[in-house]
Amino acid sequence: MRHSTNGHSKRQVSIIRLAWVLVLFGTVAALYGYSAFIGTKLPTNIDRSDLAAFGNFLQGAVVSVWSLAAFLFIYVAFLGQQEELEQTETKLRDKNK
């Protein structure tokens, strides 16, 4: 597997980029939801039904995207651990020869 300058494989770099795109998409969706449900109201003038609708939007649209991004970050961490274990095993085999 080819490694980039920071030690990640090309596959890991692609997954990390996808995860960051998902984080950005979730953030943009959250900001859009805030402007759509709350708008320019002052925090003291926000109706509870608007807050409930915004919370439902966050729960359905944003959290699922961020959860997928978190899963991808964890997956990349496991891939990195697997590569490190393989490198360690290779070094031990070479040392024992």
Tens of pLDDT, residue by residue over 21-51, are 999 999 999 999 988 888 888 878 888 898 8
Tens of pLDDT, residue by residue over 40-89, are 888 788 888 988 989 999 998 899 999 999 999 999 999 999 999 999 99
Q: Whole-structure pTM over 0.85, yes or no?
A: no
The full DSSP string for 19-78 is HHHHHHHHHHHHHHHHHHHTTT--GGG--HHHHHHHHHHIIIIIHHHHHHHHHHHHHHHH
Instruction: Give 3's strand partners.
Output: 9
pLDDT of residue 88: 93
Averaged pLDDT for residues 1-30? 83
